Structure 1
């Protein structure tokens, strides 16, 4: 079996790590195509080196651009790759422009498509990620769902016959790196100047368009972070830095200390060292849950509803509308009881993915 993995952004590289390791233990041929959607070294190169992922077999180098330009560039560049390789499966990950472009290119060429992390829904159509994940689910052949909730979403959309519960590959990699960090196998994270890792601090990230593109919204969020009662280690995504500069907003204000994005082991280490997490990232909400750090998500909704139901994650769409006391109390709240179940699986999701792709017989559209 020949499988092409199409990846292009930081979260996909993290998911790729356990998948690549699982395929390496098999007799299957695994071809990695990196679209270059994330081309900053902090969001790409360090994940290959830090997570032991094999170098990409193909790098498309599409770079940045509007959603239409970027998606179109990936589509154009993938066609000759798929034509040459003629894989048995095209595996796409998550909800990026690379995801939907990879799925569309493959189905147009009658190649079977498997979607890892299928069935997630925010029900917020303002999010580009929501468009990408819905379109990909409806054109893919095999829907690899991470949770029972995702399976229910797929069933509600008439896709149950193509859906299988695989578990969440992020659990595989997160727990492996956690154990390595706790064993001292990774250096301390490069936290911003002014953050003492031996004292309580908040670890924060912001990058979503709804939070960064509007100058007033971004200013309010940074002001709210600056008023927290603990130092804030802000790992500044390139998008956040660019929008802050464009809007004339100073990120380092109040208690906010600004640093660079972290490689995955550094991120896990930073979360473990922190008292709590503030983010708008889908992945970091779940990583905070897995690492048992309370998380405050500055969004009105989440795909990872299990984190909220358990009390480990709280949604705060507009922190500037809360009093400083309420906002600070929310972010620094006491951890809830340990979850009674493991909603994201047992750390063997990548092995499940390989097994499901091996056994699936309903995927080929070839004549």
Structure 2
């Protein structure tokens, strides 16, 4: 029996591992000698990460929650490493599979290698080349000690090869986030805010902001919000607000009749809003992937991206963090000049099948 420990630390990680778990169940039914345990490090506390969340994704709840939330970067990393080491010693396996680029990804990869357990990284090789982002540091460290690299794009393959990674260890498989999106798209759920505000399709914007460069500086956040409000005509602005953003935002006194702050939404509710929006204004990497597949215009408030295929082939544009950049992009949108999405290689809903097929050969 080949034993795999799957690690997730934050809500987006579960969207990435859900299709892998589904595929393991599929091959088990066909007699494959593979089994898994799902470890939630508890890195991000999320009140919506409840039983209903796992039910929506059609996966069992984690076998264990290490409850490693809170603390500084160093404290959290150390806490995850100490608890995961104990867990792995008590529950040895053949492969530790980590996803994405959160602290848990990096910390658990280090622990596994020191215990002489192979590591596979899903979403390996993506790079923003911005070392001010904690996620970029996590990517670099994880990929430097990974055994098997599952990639989302040809550019990710090139990044790894440039770092001296043997091409035999690189598996270009596609994007498991898109597996989940395509599977769940028929199940999207209309959120309460839709009825409360009598929203109409393609007649509102969705906003999400959480990165330090945007939300940690009051003047910058206020200036950006003022530009967004000033250049979105008379359309409602729906802003499901991250707790990190709320701490700063609530002190700014930004109030406008078209701006509607709502609590964070479930995966199925949020993507219902995104699919029907005129556009999304965000600083999230994952959302740029989802908007591209759903052909929804996306304005990314960052100066770089680790997902350039969403720009070259998708509906995403890199607006930057300067508020003065906002107006030209929104003018282009309202003129109807926005680009449409092209097909991205292997973002076809079958990524998990390719991953598990590769694992069975290890």
Q: Show structure 2 runs of 5+ residues with no match.
A: 29-33
Quickly say closer, same or farther: Cα 1:272–1:337, change in 2 above 3 A.
closer
Q: How far is the alpha carbon of 1:327 from its aligned partner?
A: 4.5
Deviation, 1:196, is: 3.0
Does residue 98 of structure 2 align to residue 95 of structure 1? no
Q: 1:46 to 1:260 in 2, by over 3 A?
A: farther
TM-score w.r.t. length of structure 2: 0.91
Equivalent positions of 1:220-235 (< 5 A) are 220-227=223-230, 228-229=232-233, 230-235=235-240
Aligned partner of 2:181 in structure 1 is 174
Aligned pair in 2 of structure 1 residues 328, 122: CA closer, same or farther (>3 Å)?
same
1:71 equivalenced with 2:77 (yes/no)? yes
More divergent stretch after superposition (222-231 vs 193-202): 193-202
2:270 corresponds in structure 1 to 267
Map of 1:278-297 to 2, 5 A cutoff?
278-297=281-300
CA distance in 1, matches of 2:71, 2:194: 29
User: Any stretches of 5+ residues in structure 1 without a counterpart?
Assistant: 182-186, 361-367
Aligned 8 A contact 2:295 2:314 in 1: no
> Partner of 2:359: helix, strand, or coil?
helix
Equivalence for 1:253: 256
Kindly indicate whether residue 119 of structure 2 is the aligned counterpart of residue 117 of structure 1: no
Measured after TM superposition, the shift of residue 43 of structure 1 is 5.2
Match of 1:358 in 2: 360
Alpha-carbon deviations, 1:287-317, whole Å to 9, x = none?
0001110100000111111111135111111
Give the deviation of 1:16 after TM superposition: 1.6
Contact 2:214/2:321, CA 8 A, preserved across alignment: no
Asked whether the equivalents of residues 38 and 44 of structure 1 are also in contact (C-alpha less than 8 Å), the reply is: no
* Partners of 1:330 and 1:250 in 2: CA distance: 29
Deviations for 1:196-228, whole angstroms, at most 9, x for unmatched residues? 322500111001111111222222222223222
Name the structure 1 match of 2:215.
Answer: 212
Per the TM alignment, residue 149 of structure 1 is displaced from its structure 2 partner at its CA by: 1.2
SS in 2 for 1:62: coil
Asked if structure 1 preserves the Cα contact closer than 8 Å seen for 2:209 and 2:283, the reply is yes
Among 245, 256, 259, the residue aligned to 1:240: 245
Task: Output the CA distance in 1 between the equivalents of 2:187 and 2:56.
Answer: 12
Q: How does 1:288-367 map onto structure 2 within 5 Å?
A: 288-310=291-313, 312-322=315-325, 324=327, 326-332=328-334, 333-339=336-342, 341-360=343-362
The 1-side partners of 2:137 and 2:185 are apart by 32
